[in-house]
Amino acid sequence: METDVTPLPATPPDDRRTMTNRRLSNSTLQALPALAAIPGYDRDQIVPGIVHLGVGAFHRAHQAAYVDDCLATGETDWGIVGVSLRSADTRDALAPQDGLYTLAVRSSDSESLRVVGSILSMLVAPEDPGAVLAALTDPRTSIVTLTITEKAYLRAAGGGLDTAHPDIVHDLANPQMPRTAHGFLTESLSRRRAAGIRPFTVLCCDNLPANGATLHRLLVEFAALRGTRLATSGDARLATSGDARLATSGDADLARHIADEVAFPSSMVDRIVPATTDADRTRISGQLGVEDAWPVMTEPFCQWVVEDDFPAGRPAWEKFGVTMVGDVGPFEDMKLRLLNGSHSAIAYLGLLSGYETVDRAFADPAIRQFVDGLWAEAIPTLPQDAGLDTTDYTAQLAKRYSNTALAHRTAQIANDGSQKLPQRIVASAMERLSAGAPPAHLMLVVAAWIAACEARGKSLPENHFTDPLDLALAALGTRQLSAGEAVAAVFDLAGFAKGGAERLTLIDLAAAHLERLRQGGVAAAFASLGIGSE
């Protein structure tokens, strides 16, 4: 899975309406052709019970579709209030459509269309943080879900909260006007507690290791910092503010409340969701006979594994294929290391080889052989007693990567490598080394990421993909470092294998690969692994 954060094009909406002047909406829903499935329930009867932070294409292809299934069976208490923490693009696209959008499920030889109606309203946090806090504090809100991408959790290199991040600093100083997920969740939990409203369940759906526990730890840390600040603040403005007095009196043990009384189940999500193109919009609108400003493209495969810990209630997701478990860890590890790890490998090696999409890169026999080798290294690091069928799982992955209809861009997957590679690649490599096995394929992925970063503005377009460390990475690029020096500097920047006994060995392996990539390209790196030499 890759979360789509690609913004809508700057083209004015009227200029995109090549098929019709009508828009997908409640008023046009019943007139849609039979080829598109529509919500089988009265949307006016749906009550908002879920607030989702980070409404992008992935959420709309995944969690929102599962909730839509539940609504169709009469579970009317689980409508979604969508919240964008950054851009207004999704709200601007969906608001004129009453929150409706088309989900196009595409395989190499077929496509099915479904209009999803589970998103009842959309809020944009920077425009009106008060409205977001009101939705989160609403007693009807029982679950808050998140797909905000790895970088939005604002972790420092050691894994704790990045307390120096400007948005964290702002939210600690301005709890009533938050910018971050941490600030919104903490303030709303504080308000609910003060009002005697039971806490909602926080369900993280991002690619973080033990994502529920990770978010829980970060939020407790944030709440403790906030409580300390409020307890020691001498700000006269705060002292005379009724809201601030309430927050201060309720925050003395807010961190303990969040630690002990708020549920943070972990989950594992999986569905490939490429960025929507203008051609997709035109094609879908043509089939519907009305304009859909932001349809979502996806694959037939869909998976969601969730730890069943919802004190405030939940939809009956298991009726529609969601796997409810006591421990999501083994499933998460398999997905992160086999799917996400190979996805990153295909992205960086594909970019360096001139491939724009996953299916084209995966069709290259050398890259295909490399992915098999990568899986062979990662599989032994997975729990051997959890009943995981890695043979079937990798066979499904190979089929999914070969889906020519998705056109999943390698540049989209390449974003945020410094945030993704620790759990997708580096963790597996460290475990292999500790078991006495070489992680040669795994460390080529790290080297390929560094080489792809170095190639931007040269063989790749400038800003072809982005990373939170781009400014620091660009500064490294001006120093003409050797491969070994460059890899060591990147490990320091990204915190790869920090404190691990295997760190120096991993640096040496990645440096050797980076030197081959610099001197002879991907073919030279593959040759060192015996790929493409026969």
DSSP string, 249-301: HHHTTHHHHHHHH-----EEEE---PPP-HHHHHHHHHHHTSB-SS-EEE-S-
Task: Give the integer Cα–Cα distance in Å for 211 and 151.
Answer: 13
The helix (H) or strand (E) run that includes residue 217 is helix 211-232
- Residues 304-327 have a mean pLDDT of 97
Residue 6 has pLDDT above 70, yes or no: no
Span 28-67, pLDDT tens digits: 999 999 999 999 999 999 999 999 999 999 999 999 999 9
HSE-CB for 485 with a 13 A CA cutoff: 7
* Residue extent(s) of CATH 3.40.50.720 domains in the chain: 13-325
- Residues 377-387 have a mean pLDDT of 92
What confidence category does residue 208 fall into, taking pLDDT thresholds of 50, 70 and 90? confident
CATH of 329-527, one of 3.30.565.10, 3.40.50.2020, 1.10.10.10, 1.10.1040.10: 1.10.1040.10
- Residues 1-17 have a mean pLDDT of 38
- Residues 456-460 have a mean pLDDT of 96
Span 244-272, pLDDT tens digits: 444 444 566 999 999 999 999 999 999 99
Output the CATH code of domain 13-325.
Answer: 3.40.50.720
Question: For residue 49, what pLDDT is reported?
Answer: 98
The model's pTM: 0.81
Q: Which two tokens stand for residue 475?
A: 């500064």
Residue 232 has pLDDT above 90, yes or no: no
Residue 511 has pLDDT above 90, yes or no: yes
Question: For residue 159, what pLDDT is reported?
Answer: 87
| Position with higher pLDDT, 230 vs 496 | 496
Task: Give the integer Cα–Cα distance in Å for 435 and 45.
Answer: 57
Question: For residue 228, what pLDDT is reported?
Answer: 81
Residue 15 has pLDDT above 80, yes or no: no
Question: For residue 178, what pLDDT is reported?
Answer: 98
Task: Give the integer Cα–Cα distance in Å for 35 and 203.
Answer: 34
- Residues 193-214 have a mean pLDDT of 95
What SS3 state is found at 51? strand
Task: Give the integer Cα–Cα distance in Å for 118 and 41.
Answer: 10
The helix (H) or strand (E) run that includes residue 411 is helix 410-414
* Residue extent(s) of CATH 1.10.1040.10 domains in the chain: 329-527
Is residue 120 left, alpha or beta, with left meaning phi > 0 and alpha meaning psi from -120 to 50?
A: alpha
Residue 413 has pLDDT above 50, yes or no: yes
What confidence category does residue 235 fall into, taking pLDDT thresholds of 50, 70 and 90? very low
